[in-house]
Amino acid sequence: MEIIETETAFKECVTNIQSTQGYKNPIGFGICRVDFGQLDSSKILQATYPHINWNENFGSAAIFIKSAQEQGFAIDFDADEVIVPVTLKFLEGCLNAFTPYSDEAYGDAHKNIQVISALYNQIKENGMREGEFRLTLIFNDASCKSVEGTYLKLYALSTSKAPLRSLNLNGAFGALHNVAWSNGQPIELEWLRDNEIELKFANEYPKIDFVDKFPRYLQHVIPANNTRVLDDSKVRFGAQLHAGTTIMPGASYVNFNAGTTGVSMVEGRISSSAIVGDGSDVGGGASILGVLSGTDGNPISIGKNTLLGANSVTGIPLGDGCIVDAGIAILAGTKFSVSANQLAKINEANPSTTLEGASFKGKELAGLNGLHFRQDSTTGALVVLRSTREVKLNADLH
């Protein structure tokens, strides 16, 4: 690609590329470095993206695609995803096109140019293993097919570029390999088995932190300044943490495609596809059930300013301003008693829903605001009241 001197010429170039017959903007794209298997060099264990794009920066995508095509790589716009190797010639073509903006590419500006420039300099200085760097393009949000494409989607979730539960993650477990993780690096389990004797006698057997298909959130994501994760093992990559969230050690855990959409305190478990709203507190040992753990496949959302007491279990969606007392389990079929007086107050707080009766299953109360789930200390009966207190987090801590 020839050197482009002006912004006007750059925009004309992008327009011409995008006007090509059959051209389609990718919904997600980025350049990654991959880790190969130690035993099977054709196996990709991990893909690391310094920057990803999701429904944005289509001008950069056009330049990437054009430069890849000029190096002889075919781009199938009808495919769900396309992965092409990055070469020095590809990088040079991109740099030539990005010339009008190169002086502005620092800080938060023109991240794609920064990626191209940094990688070009690194390869010129240190060289690269064939296929080590790759351009990933996702054109359709279909089931996950590759490690590179799966990681790109997980990045989109963990960087909040895609909303939770908005992406197709079917096939992710099949696309990723189960590996041993040591100091952030993946190791083939087969390689460890083949070399176990020699490694142990040489005192070179690595410290294995965990074994999983997914890395940890902090291995790939730099959280916002006022977000705290006190134990890196508590958040899986693909989770989403809103700025101001605190993940305490102990019984806390946030799975992939789950997390917080506001400032939250988390001392319990946010299972897969569960979402916690702004100002809510997941108490010590509290558990929000995931789509594979008792919700009949229905993802759970917790509203704003809601408190889940210690060791409680929530298997239905909750609205805003709810309280679940410690140790209470709220499942779809759990029956709760509601007095006539409290029912009137609950209906008043939820004008779009009118409840009638004295006993309700959990699923009939799903998503309502201002509920207080309790257990009568005298009779042991499970009851629901209209919540009378506002749940507020400590502003100094968030």
56 is an active site residue? no
DSSP helix/strand/coil, 9 = helix
Q: Is the four-CA dihedral 98, 101, 106, 108 of positive or negative sign?
A: negative
Q: Which of 81, 148, 188, 267 is catalytic?
A: 267
Q: 6 Cβ partners below 8 Å, 6+ apart?
A: 100
Per the CB < 8 A criterion, the answer to whether 135 and 33 are in contact is no
Per the CB < 8 A criterion, the answer to whether 153 and 140 are in contact is no
Neighbour-count burial of 140, counting CB atoms closer than 10 A to its CB (0-12 exposed, 13-18 middle, 19+ buried): middle
Alpha-carbon distances of 348 from 25, 75, 307, 329, rounded to whole Å: 48, 58, 21, 25
Which residue in 114, 85, 89, 118 sits closest to 102, CA to CA? 114
Integer Cα distance of 19 and 63 in angstroms? 13
**Mind telling me the catalytic residues?**
267
